[in-house]
Amino acid sequence: MLKKRNFLLLFTLLFAVVFFLGACTEDAGTGSTDDNQSEDDSSDSSDDSSEDQATEDTGDKTLVFGRGADSIQLDPSKVTDGESIYVTNQIYDTLVRYKEENTEVKPALAEDWNTSEDGTVWTFKLREDVKFHDGNDFTAEDVVFNFERWATSGEFIYYGYMFGASEEDLGGIIESVEATGDYEVTFTLSEPNAPFLQTLAMPPFGIASPAAVEEHGEDYFKNPVGTGPFVFEEWVPDDSITVTKNEDYFGEAANVDKVIFRTIPDNGARFLELQAGSIDLMTGLNPQDIGTTEDDSNLQIIRRPSMNISYMAMNTSKEGPMSEKLVRQAINLAIDKEELLTLYEGIGKPAKNPIPPSLWGYNDEVEDYGYDVEKAKALLAEAGYADGFDISLYTMANPRPYMPQPKVTAQAIQQMLKDINVNVKITESDWDTHLTATENAEHDMAFLGWTGDNGDPDNFMYVLLDKDNAKVGSAGNIAFYKNDEVHDLLKEAQTEMDQEVRTELYMEAQELIHEDAPWFPIAHTTPPLAASQNVTDYVPHPTGSEPFNLLDIKQ
């Protein structure tokens, strides 16, 4: 145990030194993640111009938000990554939205709604004072257009995840969406869906301007037009995205005139820019910099409520060791989670289930595997792998809210698994490449995580571990785990409207998943953001991002 502690301490110290040196020797913001939009715009934007833009005194209020990776695209219906949703949350509105501090639903584009007694027909009365950023009026036909668009193709990932769409049934549980008046829309479902209203508040179901979608076609993802509090202005790939205040917003008008989302891949470099005043707010704060931030009178720590999980998925669809339950259980036993959590520097708590304990339906009776190398070796021998094997572990290069130091975490697991003769090759990629590789089942093992979208266990368990979402090319379930009994429980929970019954179903599913061990669950975090003291009225949402219209910045 002492030997491992010294090993992890050494890694952490080396990691901090590398970050410090890198931050001191490279121009901040020059790193890149090869996101798919970069081939469309090869603009070379210098860091000096970014800082000038952020600090120029024009009389306008500009908030500069620093983050670790660029957005993948700005059509929220096609993405699952938080870096994209940070921006699209500013541009689009949904029919209903979450309250500022939790996942309770309140009106947005819809000002009222009702449902049939059996829960299969939902009718929404829409606001009559809303315009898209292109000047077009918002009506019920626009809602119909968006939902019909999402039901035409599997590329609209979240529609499939949340409404059970498949290649055979692109509409999923939504049988029809009809404009039953100029400002009234009616959804008819094939079966009751308990999280339906909560789901409609999720960012992927932001309503886009039909005129803009038709005008831009395949390029719509970089020309977004919604009804939200900010209007898209500019995207310089791997550098920045700029949105400006929507002067005609129907809701609470933004307090700032402009938001610039700057991509600064290195955590240390990003923190130096915050200290220098060239950015105002940042994610991905190194845990070891929390104390420095708290001691700086010019800065503040803002903690996002925990509703997330980090995990290492094991690709159960691959022939070989990962397809064997005993091997997966052995890997769970061979990793010292307590030691691993030292890399989280106090912002993480150990995970044992696929949902966080903050959600209803959490099964605390499940016992974590614990750390037992000898038992792990015995299970490998029983599975026919007494001599061990070689395997790959895919990791993202950039930090995530649920995993602050992915590369060092991968190296620690690599070292631990040597004790059971499992030789791990680490493959590190930028964010977009990592997502593509894991969705396409290229990995043996892979890091990923999830921040809940709607406060319902369905959003974790069905999206991340149901066989419906184990489709190569668009997998949310990157363990490619398929258990018919788990599937039946999760589908029954979707159609059951009694939360107590749903809780029992989810608790049973967690026991089965724990036994099958498709994941090594790692941690639930309380992600820290760091900000200038000039940033006020910022309330981070448990879902991982929020509109910025309510925050303010003192000049």
Give pLDDT, residue 126. 98
Tell me whether the CATH fold assigned to 93-210 matches the one assigned to 230-305+528-553: yes
Segment 184-200 shows an average pLDDT of 95
Instruction: Please report, for residues 119, 488, 497, the alpha-carbon distance to residue 494 in angstroms, rounded to integers and kept in the order given.
Output: 12, 10, 8
pLDDT confidence of residue 50: 42
- Cross-strand bridge partners of residue 179: 185
Q: 189-198: buried (b, 16+ CB within 10 Å) or exposed (e) per residue?
A: bbebbbbbbb
Q: At residue 334, does pLDDT exceed 90? A: yes
Distances (CA, A) of 247 to 231, 421, 551: 9, 62, 16
pLDDT number for residue 161: 84
What confidence tier does 443 reach under pLDDT thresholds 50, 70, 90?
Answer: very high
Q: Would you state the structure tokens that stand for residue 389, as one six-digit string?
A: 């094997």
Listed ranges 5-14, 88-97, 449-458; the one with the highest mean pLDDT: 88-97
Distance CA 130, CA 94 (A): 12
Tell me the pLDDT of the chain averaged across its residues: 89
Task: Give pLDDT, residue 53.
Answer: 44
Q: What is the pLDDT of residues 227-244, one digit of tens each?
A: 999 999 999 999 999 999
Whether the predicted pLDDT of 55 surpasses 70: no
Range with the poorest average pLDDT among 25-29, 57-61, 180-184 = 25-29
Structural contact between residues 305 and 99, judged by C-beta atoms closer than 8 angstroms: no
**Average pLDDT for residues 406-432, to the nearest whole number?**
97
Helix (H) or strand (E) holding 458: helix 457-465
pLDDT recorded at residue 287: 84
At residue 106 the predicted structure's pLDDT band, cuts being 50, 70 and 90, is very high
Chosen CATH of 93-210 out of 3.40.1350.10, 3.30.750.80, 3.40.190.10, 3.50.90.10: 3.40.190.10
Of residues 308, 404, 402, the one with CA closest to residue 356: 308
Mean pLDDT value of segment 55-76:
85
Residue 137 has pLDDT above 50, yes or no: yes
Long-range pairs of 404-407 with CB within 8 A, sequence gap ≥ 24: 404/267, 404/284, 404/285, 404/286, 404/287, 404/343, 404/344, 404/345, 404/347, 404/525, 405/12, 405/15, 405/286, 405/287, 405/343, 406/447, 407/15
The Cα–Cα gap between 161 and 180 comes to: 27
Q: What is the pLDDT of residue 48?
A: 41
Q: Kindly report which listed range (15-29, 98-112, 280-294, 413-427) carries the lowest average pLDDT score.
A: 15-29
Confidence band of 392 (pLDDT split at 50, 70, 90): very high
The CA-based diameter of the chain, rounded to the nearest angstrom, is 71
Please indicate whether residue 254 or residue 46 has the higher confidence score (pLDDT): 254
Task: Specify the pLDDT at position 129.
Answer: 96
- List Cβ neighbours of 33 (8 Å cut-off, separation of 6 or more): 69, 70, 238, 263, 265, 397, 398, 430, 431, 432
What pLDDT is recorded for position 518?
98
Strands 348-350, 519-525: pairing kind:
antiparallel
Q: Give the whole-angstrom CA distance, residue 317 versus residue 469.
A: 13
Residue 345 has a pLDDT of 84
Give the distance, in angstroms, between the CA of residue 29 and the centroid of all CA atoms in the same chain: 22
Is residue 31 over pLDDT 70? Answer: no
346, pLDDT greater than 60: yes
Cα–Cα distance for residue pair 318/373, rounded to 1 Å: 24
Alpha helices per DSSP H over 342-395: 373-382
State the CB neighbour count (10 A cutoff) for residue 390. 12
CATH 3.40.50.2300 applies to domain 308-525: no
In the chain, where are the structural domains located? Answer: 93-210, 230-305+528-553, 308-525
Separation CA 24–CA 361 (nearest Å)? 47
Res 262 pLDDT > 80 = yes
- With a cut of 90, say whether residue 3 has pLDDT above it: no
Q: What is the CATH number of domain 230-305+528-553?
A: 3.40.190.10
